[in-house]
Amino acid sequence: MKPARFDYVAAASAEEALEALAQEGGNARILAGGQSLLPMLNMRLARPTVLIDIMGVDEWRAVDRDGDVLRIGAAVRQVALEQDPDLARFQPLLAAALPWVGHPQTRSRGTVCGSIAHADPSAELPLVLVALGGTVHLRSRRRKRVLSAQNFFTGMMSTAREDDELIEAIALPKARTRTGYAFREVARRHGDFAIVACAAVVNGVRAQLAVGGVADRPALCELPAPGAAGLDEALDDFAWSLEARDDLHATARYRRELVRRLGRTTLEEAVRCRA
Amino acid sequence: MDVTADEPRPWLGRSLPRVEDAALLIGRGRYIDDLGVPPGTLHAAILRSPHGHAEIVSIDPTRARALPGVTAVLVGSDVQAHSASLLVGVKAPIECWPIATDRVRYVGEPVAVVAARDRYVAEDALDLIEVAYRPLPAVIDPRAALAPDAPVLHPGLEGNLASDRVFRYGDPERAFADAAHRVAIEVDYPRSACTPIETYGVVAEYDPGLDAYDVLANFQGPFSIHAVIARALKVPGNRLRLRTPPDSGGSFGVKQGVFPYIVLIALAARATGRPVKWIEDRLEHLAASTCATNRFTRLEAAVAADGRITALTWDQIEDCGAHLRAPEPATLYRMHGNMTGAYDIRNVSIRNRVVLTNKMPTGLNRGFGGPQVYFPLERLMQRIAHELGLDPLDVIRRNLVPRGAFPYRTASGALLDSGDYAAAMESALLQGGVAELIARRDAARRDGRLYGIGYAAVVEPSVSNMGYITTVLTAAERRKAGPKNGAQSTATIALDPVGSVTVHVASVPQGQGHRTVLAQVVADVLGLKPAEVRVVTDVDTAKDGWSIASGNYSSRFAPAVTGAAHLAAMRLRERLAHIAAAQLNVPAVDVVFDGGRVQARRNRDNALSFARVAAASHWAPGTLPSEADTAIRETVFWTPPELTAPNDADEINSSLCHGFIFDICAVEIDRVTAEVRIDRYVSMHDCGRMLHPGMVAGQVNGGFAHALGAALLEEHAYGPDGSLLTGTLADYLIPTAMEVPEPLILHHETPSPLTPLGAKGVGEGNCMSTPVCIANAVADALGVADVSLPLLPARLAQQVHGPEKAPRGKTPVRPAAKEAASERQLFGEGEASVDAPATTIWAMLLDPNALMAVVPGAHAIEKVSDTCFTAEITLGIGPVKGRYRATMELSDLDPPRALTLTGSADGALGFGRGTGQVTLREEAPGRTVIGYRYQAAIGGKVASIGGRLLDGAARVIIGQFFASLARQAGGGGRPAGLWAWLRRLLGFA
Amino acid sequence: MPRLSADCRHMVSFTLNGAPVSGEAEPRMLLSDFLRYVVGATGTHVGCEHGLCGACTVEIDGQPGRACLTLAVQVRGAQIRTVEGLAPAPDRLSVLQECFREHHGLQCGFCTPGILVTLDALLRDNPAASEPEIREALAGHLCRCTGYVSIMRAALAAQQRLGKKTDA
């Protein structure tokens, strides 16, 4: 179980990384923390001809909190945010979801943007990005562009990123006043990919629920706030609309049931957390 | 000689720190992959079958052999040229090769072995071996394998039934005729394995001058397998030197299964003339090491009105996977003497069938045969209580082998050596707080919560009779083959010229602390400190004392191996006593060994140092008294006389010792998530005398965790086409510290009268008792009769959540959403509207260049006929990309309205086959609706390691094809909008 | 821009347990293989090579990470700490190691090096780690022998003892 051969480029600057990417295109993969990519390399599921290591790019190592968004650079490891004592204040949903991402031993290496780029439909960080309406900042030698989370994720492990582009950063809105956030997940074991993960954002009468692990990408739905009429019906419609599938670990029906029940619990928790 | 009778044992029975630990804690363990290898050693990698069942049409290793760094590639015929089939344990016309020869019968079966400069290059070479398979229908269910039209794995056998035996003890027919009630249960017990964290490893060398093999492997025994390996390699036993490394990273039975790989790697060493090393990786381990059997069981009891069981009828269908690998079908017969469990039931009938299916061959695994027997038996006890309206504890009480009945001979021949089952059970109920748990259950139920309590009573056999497996043969076949019985254990104690003591055993520990306990045993006898006794446990069959029963299995260390070491120490001490007696001027019976000195009993100052007496045979053999003989080295072989061969009535004392376990489990099931939370687990053990309580606790906790995994998380799962669904540790789920609660462990000691130190085995029992105890608790919580393992929340959800309402009318449901969980078949349908006339699209479909242009990454297109094309294509999702050889064939042509498109793709990542019906309908001039329905099957590596994502990924790829078709045909009409629309049709909006 | 070719071996140097080490590696060589087969530090074990068993866990620049999910070329210049670097002296165990010994926190010992690396870092960075925090850190490791009971005891005992040491 060893990787096939590849060249390795340690980019020292954004320009170097983008130049290499422009040259190699689809045959290259960006190596950040490597926690999603290395298993695929070891199993020879992925066979890039070159890896472009971006962890040496200083400008991508920053977490920028100025303004009303939290901008997280491509080389920011998950642990850096997890250990930030102010994170829960700046963005409580991200703070609640991070401990569910793999294990401490993978969060120590894995990056936030890497998980977004991988676009696993059960992963927590893409779910958070969608739930918060965050943005993905793509950059190539040609151009920079910003996509909404909804437009970035196009399907199972598929994104709108083009071959010569990389995620330079993601941006999440900071916590808003009178808004409650909550995250809940059911997995077979702690640290496993979610069977169903729910992220709720409740603000006044507006309630949003994002669900991961069910459809081919995180799905977002606007629902009546807990206490308002029609929540159960709306959750039921949402559950059915996701077209859940059976797999080894759970049935479609179980997933729908969790969307209804866990979804409600998560929304209720978000209401309670509304400061 | 009774010098021991009145002496205390100061070391045994105490939980001393382990001598093993210091090296292991600082990273200085010596596991197989840590040991140096000779210069020039090659590294092996193994190409494995992606199919559950297929004919090998051709293998072409040319490109692999040409890769720089590759020394050799062995295929089936190379292996057959220099070896013989592995022995099969039943009388049936089947062979068992360590590599596929003409067909593959399970995913992961070896197809070729590469020996190369390093493992990286060896794996590069695997990618270059070209194998053509013709897939065959697979069978994975043991009952389905018996159907007359089932696919047959081994044509020589005609069907898939390798053995069928019927046994009858007492008068079961009469008991059933007289019974007030009959209660039956059916169980499909799933596959799981104890998956040690260290995988298999083999280093082999071949000496052409001697025609001899020298093999280092982290094999665990039994060494009866040495004979199997030597025979396969076509050498006498003395030309197969088998060694084990000093440390082994866990086994739990599993590392018995390394032996087919010993044959393969030994042959690779022979072929290359170089030492060859192979370290199994985790994907190989999960697909093709070994695991416990799955079994279908129908068990019925004849029951009196008070719950007393008068007879049992067992019908067991054992699934040993694709090959009957030694010592199978031992899993089925290990418990043969214990088919009445902890109960006094005199009438038993048994039908045992062994079948072969397209799954990994089975072998040793902790609990060996116990979980498969106790699950139906202890579920049945609960069902009897339920159906008769009795307290389940009363049903157990009324049937337990009564106090005072020991030693007790079971109906099928086991001799239960000692115990007081009733006392142990009552003590467990009291200390385990069952009254409190029942009150908690009552309160929980009043609140509408799902709380249940389960029990299990289990007899834990240990020290297997090497003859039990012959119970699978008829008495006549056994007479012809010659008797097999006993369980030799061996220990050697050696004294060196400075009088220090070394113990050698062939017990092959994999973490059980054998060295610590043996030091305690020998230190006690010789009056030394354990730290003064060196224990060596790595085995070398060319030098050490061993027998077929040597090894680490059937929990034989504590009852048997320590006994052999004790006896060897006693014999050596007797000789040393004679040496000392001459110098101390006392009779030998008055010599005492204590505190590193050898003393006169009545005058402790009249003493010699132990070292001086122990060294005497080296330095001054001429002055030793004649009774002392030479006291340098003492080897003891010990086999218990109680382990006799099966008799003509098929009665077999399958194991020497029988511990007792009574478990209590209380669970609560979450109303929202249907997850099982263990509120309390109590495990009462009678394992005879405890030699090291800390290690006993370690064994119980470890066995409990394995059992918890089997109950809640773990299963080696297969799709109906034979594809393996649990090829990584992301799908084969091993419990972590978050999932395993701490059980309350209790003890009730009744020493075994049959072992030298009174100990019994303890390591396997919870693997037998805990899965069913948890299942009984869950059944009690949900009030259901049927529970099957593993207890997935998604399965329990049916009961927890109740029926699901259909969706409200406005939300349509695609038919695809109704697919069954286990089906690997993928169905889908969709439509695409294209700005082109139907004839244009039709022309495209019939033009190979146009058609292949539709497939992203297609090149090297060849037209085989007007309706058949081949191509190389690159397919992928995200970073997962692979190259495939694809063929596409058109049939049922109805121009320009409809056709059937059949395609297949094969590559290193797996294979896919599918059929699609395509219809063209012109809804307006120059505007055509392409309709399609497809069904596809995917297997191979991607199915084993990416199952969670596979269906979705396949759907994306199929969608890409039709999107591309529409895009090409539409000539760039509305690509973006069309793309999005297609995606929505395919279910990704 | 420096590009390391797939077809060559390249010099890799870093600090291992306080001492400089170097060796040659193809870009694709995993850190776990580099430590074991190039440097000869076999205390770090390999159990799954897909990041799930935890046996290969080593400390990389102060954080426990999977050596099997790290390329050797990625840690050029890094500070690596492995099980071989945990004891204060060759003939003395660390407090954590000693607690594992006292509480039978290991059986076969194969998963132990990774667990020790994780716990060593946890108890250093978070001396007041709660029982659930310790358990969660342990959840990144698979042990098939102990059922985790004795590992938890050993970890909690080490935490207590280390806490006292700090107080004193």
Whether the Cβ atoms of residue A6 and residue B123 lie closer than 8 Å to each other = no
Helix (H) or strand (E) holding B344: none
Query: Other CB atoms closer than 10 Å to residue B986's CB: what's the count?
Result: 23
In the predicted model, what is the mean pLDDT of residues C75-82? 98
Q: How many angstroms separate the CA atoms of C146 and C150, rounded? A: 7
> Chain A partners of C5 at a C-beta cutoff of 8 Å?
7
Q: How many angstroms separate the CA atoms of C127 and C130, rounded? A: 9
> What three-state secondary structure class fits B410?
coil
pLDDT for res A25: 86
Whether the Cβ atoms of residue A42 and residue C49 lie closer than 8 Å to each other = yes
Q: How many angstroms separate the CA atoms of B129 and B109, rounded? A: 15
Q: How many angstroms separate the CA atoms of B922 and B910, rounded? A: 37
Q: How many residues are there in chain B?
A: 989
Helix (H) or strand (E) holding B445: helix B434-446
Return the C-alpha torsion angle A35, A40, A44, A47, nearest 10.
-90
> Chain C partners of B26 at a C-beta cutoff of 8 Å?
43, 83-84, 86-87, 90, 93, 97
> Chain A partners of C1 at a C-beta cutoff of 8 Å?
9, 11-12, 16, 19-20
Asked whether the predicted pLDDT for residue A131 surpasses 80, the reply is yes
pLDDT for res B817: 38
Residue A251 is nearest to which of B794, B951, B956, comparing CB atoms?
B794
Domain extents for chain C? 10-84, 95-167
Whether the Cβ atoms of residue B400 and residue B425 lie closer than 8 Å to each other = yes
Handedness of CA B457, B463, B465, B468 (dihedral sign): positive
Tokens of A17: 């990384």
Show which of residues 709-768 on chain B sit within 8 Å of chain C, judged by CB atoms. 728-730, 734, 736-738, 740, 742
Over chain B (989 residues), what is each successive 10-residue block's mean pLDDT?
A: 49 96 97 97 97 97 98 98 94 94 97 98 97 96 97 95 98 98 98 98 98 98 97 98 98 98 98 98 98 98 98 98 97 98 98 98 98 98 98 98 97 98 98 98 98 98 97 95 94 98 97 97 97 97 97 96 97 97 96 96 97 96 90 96 97 98 98 97 98 98 98 96 93 97 98 97 98 98 97 95 85 43 60 83 80 72 84 78 84 91 83 85 86 81 73 70 69 38 36
Contacts of B972 (CB under 8 A, 6+ apart): none
> Can you state the percent helix, strand and coil of chain B, rounding each to 5?
30, 30, 40
Q: How many angstroms separate the CA atoms of B56 and B77, rounded? A: 12
Asked whether the predicted pLDDT for residue A155 surpasses 60, the reply is yes
Can you spell out the DSSP letters for A68-84?
TEEEEETT-BHHHHHT-
Domains contained in chain B, CATH given: 36-136+194-288 (3.90.1170.50), 155-192+292-400+410-470+644-798 (3.30.365.10), 489-638 (3.30.365.10), 823-985 (3.30.530.20)
Query: What is chain B's alpha carbon radius of gyration, rounded to the nearest angstrom?
Result: 32
Q: How many angstroms separate the CA atoms of C96 and C87, rounded? A: 9
Can you spell out the DSSP letters for C88-147?
SBTTB--HHHHHHHHTT--SS-SSHHHHHHHHHHHHHH-TT--HHHHHHHHTTS--SSST
Interchain CB distance below 8 Å, C106 and B24: yes
pLDDT for res B5: 42
Q: How many angstroms separate the CA atoms of B847 and B581, rounded? A: 102
Q: How many angstroms separate the CA atoms of A244 and B63, rounded? A: 44
Q: How many angstroms separate the CA atoms of B271 and B82, rounded? A: 9
Domains contained in chain A, CATH given: 7-53 (3.30.43.10), 58-173 (3.30.465.10), 179-273 (3.30.390.50)
For chains A and B, what is the number of CB pairs under 8 angstroms? Answer: 163
Whether the Cβ atoms of residue C23 and residue C12 lie closer than 8 Å to each other = yes
Query: What is chain A's alpha carbon radius of gyration, rounded to the nearest angstrom?
Result: 19
In the predicted model, what is the mean pLDDT of residues A114-118? 97
Whether the Cβ atoms of residue B287 and residue B360 lie closer than 8 Å to each other = yes
Tokens of B552: 């680490």
Whether the Cβ atoms of residue A180 and residue A96 lie closer than 8 Å to each other = no
Contacts of C68 (CB under 8 A, 6+ apart): A38, A42, C30, C31, C32, C46, C48, C49, C50, C51, C56
> What three-state secondary structure class fits B816?
helix
Can you spell out the DSSP letters for B453-484?
EEEEEEEEEEEE-TTGGGGGS-HHHHHHH---
Whether the Cβ atoms of residue A259 and residue A239 lie closer than 8 Å to each other = yes
Q: How many angstroms separate the CA atoms of A264 and A248, rounded? A: 25
Q: How many angstroms separate the CA atoms of C133 and C122, rounded? A: 9
Place of tokens 């003492």: B634
Place of tokens 């392409």: B930
Q: What CATH code would you report for C10-84?
A: 3.10.20.30
Give the max Cα distance, chain C.
Answer: 56
**CATH architecture for the domain at C95-167:** Orthogonal Bundle (1.10)
Helix (H) or strand (E) holding B578: helix B562-584
Distance from CA of A102 to the nearest CA of C (A): 8
In angstroms, the Cα distances linking B851 to B299, B854, B869, B902 are: 58, 5, 9, 13
Chains contacting A with at least 3 CB pairs below 8 Å?
B, C
Chains contacting C with at least 3 CB pairs below 8 Å?
A, B
pLDDT for res B130: 95
> Chain A partners of B123 at a C-beta cutoff of 8 Å?
1-2, 4, 44
Show which of residues 56-85 on chain A sit within 8 Å of chain C, judged by CB atoms. 79
For chains A and C, what is the number of CB pairs under 8 angstroms? Answer: 113
- Would you give the DSSP letter of residue A88? H
Q: In what order do the strands lie in the sheet with A7-10?
A: A28-31, A50-53, A7-10, C3-4
pLDDT for res B948: 66
Minimal-distance CA residue of chain B relative to C136? B738
Q: How many angstroms separate the CA atoms of A21 and A26, rounded? A: 8
Q: What is the mean pLDDT of chain A?
A: 95
pLDDT single digits (tens) C98-127: 999 999 999 999 999 999 999 999 999 999
Query: Other CB atoms closer than 10 Å to residue C154's CB: what's the count?
Result: 25
Minimal-distance CA residue of chain C relative to B282? C48
> What three-state secondary structure class fits B442?
helix
Interchain CB distance below 8 Å, C146 and B698: yes
B552 contact C CB<8A: no
B979 contact C CB<8A: no
C112 contact B CB<8A: yes
Whether the Cβ atoms of residue B517 and residue B19 lie closer than 8 Å to each other = no
Identify the CA nearest to B881 among candidates C123, A221, A166, A27.
Answer: A27
In angstroms, the Cα distances linking C154 to A253, B732, C148, C160 are: 42, 28, 10, 10
Q: State the pairing for strand pair B240-243/C63-66.
A: unpaired
ipTM for the complex shown: 0.98
Beta bridge partners of B133: B56
Q: How many angstroms separate the CA atoms of A202 and A115, rounded? A: 25
Residue A247 is nearest to which of B821, B909, B988, comparing CB atoms?
B821
> Chain C partners of B515 at a C-beta cutoff of 8 Å?
none
Residue B736 is nearest to which of C112, C139, C149, comparing CB atoms?
C139
Residue ranges of chain C whose CB lies within 8 Å of a chain A CB: 1-7, 26-28, 30, 33, 49-51, 54, 57, 60, 63-66, 68-71, 73-74, 118, 122, 136-137, 139-141
Q: State the pairing for strand pair C19-25/B130-135.
A: unpaired
Identify the CA nearest to B561 among candidates B622, B506, B617.
Answer: B506
Q: How many angstroms separate the CA atoms of B370 and B297, rounded? A: 13
Q: How many angstroms separate the CA atoms of B817 and B378, rounded? A: 38
Beta bridge partners of B352: B165, B316
In angstroms, the Cα distances linking B97 to A53, B265, B364 are: 46, 13, 18
Identify the CA nearest to B878 among candidates B931, B934, B942.
Answer: B942
Minimal-distance CA residue of chain B relative to C27? B120
Strands (E), A79-205: 135-139, 144-148, 153-155, 158-159, 166-173, 179-186, 196-203
Q: How many angstroms separate the CA atoms of B62 and B67, rounded? A: 9
